[in-house]
Chains A and B, each alone.
Chain A
Amino acid sequence: MQRHRIFLTGVGGQGTLTSTRLLALAAMDAGLDVVSGEIHGMAQRGGVVESTVLLGGFTSPKISPGEADILLGFEPLEALRALPMLMQGGFAAVSTDPIPPLSSALEREPYPPLETLCAPIREWAGKAVFIPCHALGVAAGNPQSANTVLLGAACAAGAFPFDMAAMEAAITKHLPPKIVDVNLAALRLGADALCG
């Protein structure tokens, strides 16, 4: 079975861990061996939240630098910060919606221009997709579905060893009923954004 190491990064409060779980469940329901890792606690107070999903027979939930095949960045600054985790030539899917840290809001550390964040990712990754997740989440009916937009884009790009139907099934099965439709729409919009 082909092995995949997926590294996910975002900002506390963004729902990174919920998306991680959804991705892992989709893989498990598709019959893959899955192990996933996350760190709770202090970081969730607005800090960086990192998690992992490893497919195909790993035991370890931790990914070492340069060993992720796939990087999912739910926030562009954090995607760049996590780029050392991605192997050269790997796949990256990145949200283009900045969430400036407080130091940037206080004008102590300027938030870099978006292109400064994306260019190195584009260069380092073999394939990289950049998605306006927030806007598409809003279009799907709720900005909180922005992460699902990114999962949709990555899935449609063929990053995962399972297809859109598996992602859709996982959303339907594992998310609370009242947010299923919004997330299905978000998944679709993410996939469509690739072609557009």
Chain B
Amino acid sequence: MGKELLDKEGGARHFLLGNEAIVRGALEAGVDMVTCYPGTPSSEVPDTFFRLSPQGPYRFEYSVNEKVALEVGAGASLAGARTFVTMKHVGVNVAADPLLTLAYVGSPGGFVLLSADDPGSHSSQNEQDNRWYARLAGLPCIEPGTAQECKDFTRAAMELSLTFGQPVLLRTTTRVNHVRGPVTFAALPEKTPPAPFVKNPFRYVPLPASARAMRLALLDKLDALSAAADISPLNVVSGQGTIGFVASGICRAYLHDALFETGLAGTVKVLDLGFSHPLPKNLIADFAEGLDALVVLEEVDPIVEEEIRALFQRRGISTAVVGKGEILPRFGEYSPEIVEGAVRAACGLPAREKTLYAVPADLPRRPPNMCAGCPHRASYHAVRQVFGDEPVYSSDIGCYTLGIQPPLSCADFLFCMGSSVSAGSGFAAVSGRPVVAFIGDSTFFHSGITGLINAVAGGHELLLVILDNRTTGMTGHQPHPGVDHTIFGEFSSKVDLAGLVAACGVTPVRVNPFNHKATVAALTDLKEQSGVRVLIAEAPCPIHARKVKIARKTPPAQVAGDPAKCLACRDALACPAFTMVEGVFTINAESCSGCMYCVQLSPEIKARKKDG
């Protein structure tokens, strides 16, 4: 979806990705300032803002990490800007420090934090439920469930923030971020100049004395917000009967389809919970009247469920609460099937029988893999050649985590963004084993640099390989402080990675990983040394290079000699352009990116001559 998102008029209907609808919602809310750190499933939100930024009526930045994004946003909101900050669920952990004080200080200009959660861990290291953060930090929580709601609720979240002068959590999940559906636009507002900041340190500086007062004020605001949730148009009651369902997020979609499938629509009561924290206590107590049982549908943790149990206990409501302990799982995503099962169980219908085709167990698997011509594969291959299985490989978050796959097998443990350096230091200190840590350039800027400073100052033993592909690969090739090019051309204010490493106290060795001999020589040298060592393996990601139009046209590789002699190279490098055609090794010219790494490993492989 392109420039239509910036259309001033309302009324048009477009088929949008949930994340694009969120962008339109923020625009309809008059957003002034957008900060983020990219991460699936949130990435299309900032990427769309970035693409539209030359024309868009807002200021945008990819911040260096989530903490910084939140702090820049917090400051902007104090200065009166309508501020929207986006990140994936685990990113909120990085931003948790400022977040937990943000609600004390407040955000007079308006502040919405998008947390894109990932139940089922489709592209994340965990499936944490960030609705806890709403409770922990004292934020209202808004949860859309359809593409249209992604737009409408984003706008409602900003309006709520402006009304209360408080930050609001907009919580989505992968299915919602990546739903596509028709969205009807409203008009964009005329921009109003931001309200000027009036100095009042005891309101905005949480010293112990003022923090105590701020905490009390926050509790009052949460009571007022609970009353607002009671009457919010985002919370909708429908149907009649003695069985009730309270559902939030994508579970609402599953519930509505399940009620259609079972023919029960209208014969049970439904509370669509779009404004889920603070709990609309009076609304739910009224909803429970006349109900024998109330089923709570929410993914991951039983948060609303337990709050409703506590509410019922406090108010002496005897309606049975049914949720995760009873008929619903505590992990992973729900599905139409799981929810239909819960509906049937609650309403006394028999479970539905289905016959499913059973897939043969021995189908070849197709795990994700680094692309053909990925510079990380070359780096890993060289490291394996020099170090073999002896060291422990401390990995980090990016495309290069896929180096876990054999034959590269270059990932032995991982915690989070930036952990390769620090966790690697700790492991080496105790085990005495050599540790090679891998981190990407974007992840290094994000939070690897603190680990490096710590490693130097603490006298640790570690070889850190910075896999510098000149972009943020995994999340869709976003710029970071060290990039040379963005989709808008050359990037003029870049921060020098090698200089930064040198300033930390280690003179980095720099190689082009596609130069096999030089990389192996550098690694062999570094292996002999002790202390903290840094190798920067620098070559642009070919996909990024194509996007920013700096890719050089290179001919693909081909088997020029005996294919049988290429098998050692095939098995050690495992480039996805390698293939076997009727038992004979060949290189798929359509997939090969022409990186010429394999050519240096096997004399049987040569660059394809240009025709003519």
Which A residues lie at the B interface, using CB under 8 A?
11-12, 21, 24-25, 28, 34-48, 57-67, 77-78, 80-81, 83-84, 86, 88, 100-107, 109-112, 120, 124, 143
Inter-chain contact A112/B250, CB cutoff 8 Å: no
Residue B4, interface by CB 8 Å: no
Cβ contact within 8 Å between B337 and A60: no
Q: Does B123 contact A (CB under 8 A)?
A: yes
Chain B residues whose C-beta falls within 8 Å of the C-beta of A38 in the assembled complex:
178, 180
> Knowing A62-B175, A105-B579 touch, does A45 contact B399 (C-beta < 8 A)?
yes
| A60 & B250 in contact (Cβ 8 Å cutoff) | yes
B180 touches A46 (CB 8 A): no
Are A34 and B40 in touch, CB under 8 angstroms? Answer: no
Bound CA span A137–B330, Å: 46
16 additional A-B pairs beyond A41-B40, A45-B368, beta carbons within 8 Å, are A21-B15, A24-B180, A35-B147, A40-B44, A42-B40, A43-B368, A45-B371, A45-B402, A57-B260, A64-B336, A64-B338, A66-B354, A66-B355, A100-B364, A102-B574, A104-B364
| Residue in B closest to A83 when the chains form the complex, CB atoms | B357
Ordered by A's residue number, 13 sampled pairs between the chains whose C-beta atoms are within 8 Å are A34-B180, A35-B146, A35-B180, A37-B175, A40-B40, A42-B40, A43-B123, A45-B370, A58-B257, A61-B178, A77-B366, A81-B363, A109-B365
Complex Cα spacing A83 to B359, Å: 7
How many chain B residues touch A (Cβ–Cβ < 8 Å)? 57
Is B41 among interface residues, defined by CB-CB distance under 8 A? yes
Q: Say whether B494 faces chain A, with CB atoms less than 8 Å apart.
A: no
Given contacts A101-B366, A120-B357, contact A60 B40 (CB under 8 A): no
Contact with A along B462-492 (1 / 0, CB 8 A): 0000000000001000000000000000000
Interchain CB contact (< 8 A) of B15 among A28, A42, A83, A102:
A28
Chain B contacts for A80, CB-based, 8 A: 359, 363
A61 touches B253 (CB 8 A): yes
| Inter-chain contact A110/B364, CB cutoff 8 Å | yes
Q: Considering the chains assembled together, what is the distance between the CA atoms of A38 and B147 in angstroms?
A: 13
**Chain A positions within 8 Å of B41 at CB level:** 39-41
Which A residues touch B15, using CB under 8 A? 21, 24-25, 28, 34
Residues of B with C-beta under 8 A to A11: 366
Interface presence of B182 (CB below 8 A)? yes
Chain A residues near B181 (CB-CB < 8 A): 34-36, 61
Tell me the bound Cα distance from A41 to B356 in angstroms. 28
List, in ascending order, chain A residues with CB within 8 A of B340's CB: 64
Contact with A along B326-370 (1 / 0, CB 8 A): 000000010111101000000000000011111100111111111
Return A114 CB to nearest CB of chain B, in Å. 13
Contacts of A106 in B (CB 8 A): 570-571, 574, 578
B580 and chain A: residue at smallest CB distance = A105
Residue on A nearest B179 in the bound complex, by CB: A61
B residues within 8 A CB of A112? Answer: 363-364
Residues of B within 8 A of A143 (CB): 590
8 Å CB interface, B118-139 against A: 122-123
Give the chain B neighbours of A86 by CB distance below 8 A.
357
Q: What's the nearest-Cβ distance from chain A to residue B519, in Å? A: 23
User: Is the Cβ of B253 less than 8 Å from the Cβ of A47?
Assistant: no
B460 interface residue per 8 A CB criterion: no
Docked complex Cα distance between A66 and B357 (Å): 8
Chain B residue numbers with a CB within 8 Å of A83 are 357, 359
Cβ-defined contact, A47 with B179, below 8 A: no
The residue of chain A having its C-beta at the shortest distance from the C-beta of B575 within the complex is A102
Check: B302 CB closer than 8 A to any chain A CB: no
Chain B min CB distance to A79 (Å): 11
A188→B362 CA distance, assembly (Å): 36
- Residues B367 and A47 in contact, CB atoms below 8 Å apart: yes
Cβ–Cβ < 8 Å partners of A40 in chain B: 40-41, 43-44, 123, 178
Q: A47-B366, A64-B335 are in contact. Are A124 and B578 (CB under 8 A)?
A: no
In Å, the complex CA distance between A166 and B579 comes to 39
Query: Which B residues are in CB contact (< 8 Å) with A105?
Result: 570, 576, 578-580
Query: Cβ of B395 < 8 Å from any Cβ of A?
Result: no
